[in-house]
């Protein structure tokens, strides 16, 4: 399918910013209110985008992505900022991230091949995964990724036997610092007793270090941890820094080596609803840097090269999901507004109770606001996109609803449930739009079905 060419949107007249679009906001910085109840993002009308590309459609503000990448570089100018590709990745995003000077975190051979397709520098790529397949490891070694993060004991020998040589593959060890952090138990990954990493407290991490040091094909260059997702305070990162530096010092004292790198992972929170806590990159950066200097001074350890892996905090606030209302049902005092998407394009509410704000665009309404629940089209009672949101009482089929903060972990986790087809992704910038990912069609499903 030929990509839709970029077309300037004529006649867009910026209007005063509405209160819900004012900072601090869940909308991109370019979002402004427009006539007839519309909102423009990147100078482009959301209502016009819905009409042109259909719904559901995901809109991505390119300039917001770039600005957030730069904010992380300013916050930690001496660190490596590595974009977590699992948040959302496509060819254009790979290019934006490379142009802004960030590294790239991948979790599969597929993500790695996409990066290679765009010529992303392999030495700026970090390969993750708690269960890397043989194909994942072969691809990483073939393409020469900069770091492979060891996540289990059995991975050490498996990787070492595949290194072609003569140079060793640089690796990090993902450790569990034993810290509870994150917005939901399903996205807390730094505590004991879950599938990621190797425990410092139980000795597994140190055993892994010893095994790696015994493999000539592997070079231990750093420690890695990831506390979880939607971490709304810098404090857990400060705790992690302290425990990780203490462990680095223990490795030095026991094995007479100084491991030079420390990767704190990502998980930095964003606002999904007005008022949600979301510290700036600068706030995280100040706390992390200050604690790193204090801990290194206390343990007499040279300050390691620091890395962080923001994904959601770069991509989520740049994205907006657009849906069309299919039906409105009033039942038992509740108002259910059903749209033409749902858990197939945004599984987060069903997975771990994520909550959003919603705004009608493209039609002005003088009706009073009424609390409603926005639900999806799928055959699941849990297919709820947004609870307790305020919409005009006269909301009706054909209206367009916009859900901000939708740039991360929506399309990247979208499924083929009910064969509805995954939605397109459209980039906007400077009054123009262009298609990044086309809509998945029934023909795509039919081609995969080869059983007869």
**CB neighbours of residue 59 within 10 Å:** 27
- For residue 125, the SS3 value is strand
- Give φ, ψ of 200 to 5 degrees: -70, -45
Host H or E run for residue 334:
strand 334-339
Give me 42's structure tokens. 């990147």
- For residue 273, the SS3 value is coil
Give the pLDDT score at 12. 38
- Co-location of 419 and 301 in the same domain: no
Give me 120's structure tokens. 């992303």
**CB neighbours of residue 255 within 10 Å:** 14
Q: Among 280, 315, 350, where does a domain finish?
A: 315
Give the pLDDT score at 19. 55
- Co-location of 291 and 175 in the same domain: yes
- Co-location of 69 and 57 in the same domain: no
CATH of the domain at 57: 2.40.37.10
Residue 296's domain comprises: 63-315
Q: Among 315, 335, 358, where does a domain finish?
A: 315
Q: 343 lies in a domain? A: yes
Give me 105's structure tokens. 């975190």
- Co-location of 242 and 386 in the same domain: no
Give the pLDDT score at 196. 72
- Co-location of 181 and 229 in the same domain: yes
Report the alpha-carbon distance of residue 301 to residue 253 in Å, rounded: 10
Give the pLDDT score at 14. 43
Spell out the per-residue pLDDT of the chain, length 452, in tens: 333 333 343 333 344 455 566 545 899 999 999 999 999 999 999 999 999 999 999 999 999 999 999 999 999 999 999 999 999 999 999 999 999 999 999 999 999 999 999 999 999 999 999 899 999 999 999 999 999 999 999 999 999 999 988 999 999 999 998 886 554 454 445 445 677 789 998 899 999 999 999 999 999 999 999 998 889 999 999 999 999 999 999 999 999 999 999 999 999 999 999 999 999 999 999 999 999 999 999 999 999 999 999 999 999 999 999 999 999 999 888 999 999 999 999 999 998 889 999 999 999 999 999 999 999 999 998 999 999 999 999 999 999 999 999 999 999 999 999 999 999 999 999 999 999 999 999 999 999 999 87
Angle at 169 between CA 163 and CA 172, to 5 degrees: 130
Q: 2 lies in a domain? A: no
Q: 441 lies in a domain? A: yes
Active site residues: 379
Instruction: Provide CB contacts within 8 A for 439, sequence distance 6+.
Output: 53, 54, 421, 422, 423, 424
Q: 213 lies in a domain? A: yes
- Co-location of 80 and 135 in the same domain: yes
DSSP state of 442: H
Instruction: Provide CB contacts within 8 A for 17, sequence distance 6+.
Output: 31, 32, 33
Report the alpha-carbon distance of residue 93 to residue 431 in Å, rounded: 19
Tokens 């300050």: give the residue.
303
Q: Among 300, 315, 330, where does a domain finish?
A: 315
Q: How far out from the chain centre does Cα 176 lie?
A: 21
- Give φ, ψ of 144 to 5 degrees: 75, 50
Are 358 and 389 contacting, i.e. CB atoms less than 8 angstroms apart?
yes
CATH of the domain at 246: 3.20.20.10
Q: 1 lies in a domain? A: no
Give me 261's structure tokens. 């790198």
Q: 126 lies in a domain? A: yes
Q: Tell me how many domains the chain contains.
A: 2
**CB neighbours of residue 332 within 10 Å:** 5
- Co-location of 295 and 408 in the same domain: no
Give the pLDDT score at 334. 92
Give the pLDDT score at 407. 98
Q: 177 lies in a domain? A: yes
- Co-location of 305 and 164 in the same domain: yes
SS3 string, 375-386, reads: ECCCCCCCCEEE
- Co-location of 288 and 326 in the same domain: no
Report the alpha-carbon distance of residue 228 to residue 168 in Å, rounded: 30
Q: 215 lies in a domain? A: yes
- Co-location of 251 and 339 in the same domain: no
Report the alpha-carbon distance of residue 31 to residue 44 in Å, rounded: 9
Are 344 and 422 contacting, i.e. CB atoms less than 8 angstroms apart?
yes
Give the pLDDT score at 348. 94
Report the alpha-carbon distance of residue 263 to residue 260 in Å, rounded: 10
- Co-location of 303 and 420 in the same domain: no
- Write b or e for each residue in 131-159: b if 16 or more Cβ atoms lie within 10 A of its Cβ, otherwise e: ebeeebbebbbebebbbbbbbbeebbeeb
- Co-location of 307 and 246 in the same domain: yes
């Amino acid at each position: 399918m030929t990509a839709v060419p970029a077309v300037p949107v004529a006649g867009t007249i910026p209007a005063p910013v509405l209160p819900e679009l004012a900072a601090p906001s869940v909308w991109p910085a370019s979002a402004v209110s427009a006539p007839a109840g519309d909102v423009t993002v990147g100078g482009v009308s959301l209502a016009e985008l819905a009409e042109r590309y259909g719904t559901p459609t995901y809109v991505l503000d390119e300039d917001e992505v770039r600005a957030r990448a730069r904010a992380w570089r300013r916050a930690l100018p001496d660190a490596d900022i590595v974009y977590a590709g699992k948040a959302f990745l496509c060819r254009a995003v790979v290019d934006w991230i490379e142009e802004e000077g960030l590294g790239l975190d991948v979790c599969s051979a597929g993500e790695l091949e996409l990066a290679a397709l765009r010529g992303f520098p392999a030495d700026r790529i970090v390969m993750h995964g708690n269960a890397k397949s043989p194909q994942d490891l072969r691809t990483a070694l073939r393409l020469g990724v900069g770091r492979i993060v060891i996540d289990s004991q059995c991975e050490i020998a498996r990787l070492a036997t595949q290194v072609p040589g003569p140079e060793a593959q640089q690796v990090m060890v993902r450790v569990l610092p034993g810290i509870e952090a994150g917005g939901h138990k399903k996205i807390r990954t730094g505590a004991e007793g879950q599938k990621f990493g190797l425990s410092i407290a139980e000795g597994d991490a140190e055993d892994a270090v010893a095994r790696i040091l015994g493999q000539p094909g592997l070079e231990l260059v750093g420690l890695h941890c990831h506390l979880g997702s939607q971490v709304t305070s810098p404090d857990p990162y400060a705790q992690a820094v302290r425990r990780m530096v203490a462990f680095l010092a223990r490795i030095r004292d026991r094995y007479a080596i100084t491991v030079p790198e420390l990767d704190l992972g990502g998980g930095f929170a964003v606002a999904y609803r007005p008022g949600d806590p979301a510290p700036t990159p600068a706030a995280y950066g100040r706390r992390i840097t200050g604690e790193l200097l204090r801990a290194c001074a206390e343990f007499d350890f040279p300050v390691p090269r620091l890395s962080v892996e923001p994904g959601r905090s770069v991509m989520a606030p740049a994205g907006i999901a657009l849906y069309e209302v299919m039906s409105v049902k009033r039942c038992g005092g509740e108002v259910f507004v059903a749209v033409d998407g749902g858990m197939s394009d945004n599984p987060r509410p069903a997975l771990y109770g994520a909550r959003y704000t919603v705004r009608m665009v493209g039609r002005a309404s003088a009706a009073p606001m009424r609390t409603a629940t926005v639900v999806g089209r799928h055959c699941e009672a849990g297919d709820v996109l947004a609870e307790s949101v305020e919409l005009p009482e006269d909301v009706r089929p054909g209206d367009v609803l916009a859900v901000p903060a939708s740039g991360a972990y929506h399309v990247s986790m979208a499924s083929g449930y009910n064969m509805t087809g995954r939605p397109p992704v459209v980039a906007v910038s400077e009054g123009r739009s262009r298609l990044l990912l086309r809509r998945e069609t029934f023909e795509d499903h039919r081609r995969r079905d080869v059983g007869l």
